[in-house]
Amino acid sequence: MVVDAHRRVIAIDGPAGAGKSTIAKALSARLHMKYLDTGAMYRAVTFEAMLHELDLSDQDVVTKLAQECDLHVGIDRVIINGHDATAAIRGPEVTGNVSKVAANSGVRTEMRIRQQEWASAHGGGVIEGRDIATVVFPNAVLKVFLTASPAVRAQRRVDQDGGDVAQIAAAIAERDLLDSTRADSPLASSSDSVVVDTSDRAIDDVVDEIEQLFVERSK
Ligand code: DC
């Protein structure tokens, strides 16, 4: 049963600004599948740790928080321990610290368990992150690694959240480096992922391609 649910996962991985959220949400709507943003889970733990002024480099303390927190990540609301963190998790403070929390193995283990439980409870879904294909759902029916050029990715973030394009580009590059060089489940494409460059493509066009791949894999 559980393994079947995991096979009904579409894994969408890739770096910041590659278009994961937009594309994964559109796909989930088209295919009538649930959607999970695993980055929001790491962001929410970071938010809660900062709220309690925890030392983010204290792995045990932050792991304990991750294990004990009541966390709800919905399509348009993120609630942790009763706090609505929806807006705050997108702010610069959380964005600047989340890579540190995401590099904590204790936190990752806990988030991985929750992600797998979520898929079992919902019979699969469209799940976006960094290690979804490589580590969390190695049996996913379809694995997609989205990429885009650094300039396009920075511009998308500026269009979405405002800010200075050069600063955002530098911050993205730093986060990519931390995410892809950490010891535990770094950002990487899986050998069986379909790599899709979204730089010069319309969203609908990319969603069409992934939908088609899913239909073929599901036959
Ligand atoms: O996708 P995002 O920018 O919201 O992700 C926030 C951070 O969480 C980012 O630094 C990478 C990390 N992350 C991760 O390590 N593993 C995931 N499955 C999802 C996100």
Long-range (24+ apart) CB contacts under 8 A made by 159-164 are 161/90
Least confident of 13-17, 95-99, 158-162: 158-162
Nearest to 146 by CA among 95, 63, 207, 94: 207
Residue to probe by mutation, ligand 1, list 45, 153, 179, most atoms within 8 Å of CB: 179
d(C-alpha 190, C-alpha 208), whole Å: 22
Tokens 């993120």, residue located? 78
Q: Look at ligand 1, atom 9, and give the residue with the nearest C-alpha.
A: 99
Q: Find the length of the chain.
A: 219
Residue 26 backbone phi and psi in degrees, to 5? -65, -40
- Which whole number is the average pLDDT over 96-103? 95
Contact 38, 127 (CB under 8 A): yes
pLDDT in tens, 108-126: 999 999 999 999 999 999 9
For residue 202, how far is its CA from the centre of ligand 1 (angstroms)?
24
pLDDT in tens, 172-203: 999 889 889 999 999 989 999 999 999 999 99
Nearest to 36 by CA among 7, 76, 68: 76
Q: Look at ligand 1, atom 4, and give the residue with the nearest C-alpha.
A: 39
CA-based end-to-end distance of the chain: 19
Residues 6+ apart with CB under 8 A from 100: 46, 56, 57, 178
Residue to probe by mutation, ligand 1, list 116, 118, 130, 131, most atoms within 8 Å of CB: 130
For residue 36, how far is its CA from the centre of ligand 1 (angstroms)?
12
d(C-alpha 189, C-alpha 204), whole Å: 22
Q: How confident is the model at residue 3 (pLDDT cuts 50, 70, 90)?
A: low
Long-range (24+ apart) CB contacts under 8 A made by 199-204 are 199/147, 199/148, 199/149, 199/152, 200/152, 203/19, 203/22, 203/23, 203/26, 204/26
Contact 193, 133 (CB under 8 A): yes
pLDDT at 219: 81
d(C-alpha 87, C-alpha 21), whole Å: 16
For residue 179, how far is its CA from the centre of ligand 1 (angstroms)?
8
Total-model pTM: 0.94
pLDDT in tens, 49-70: 999 999 999 999 999 999 999 9
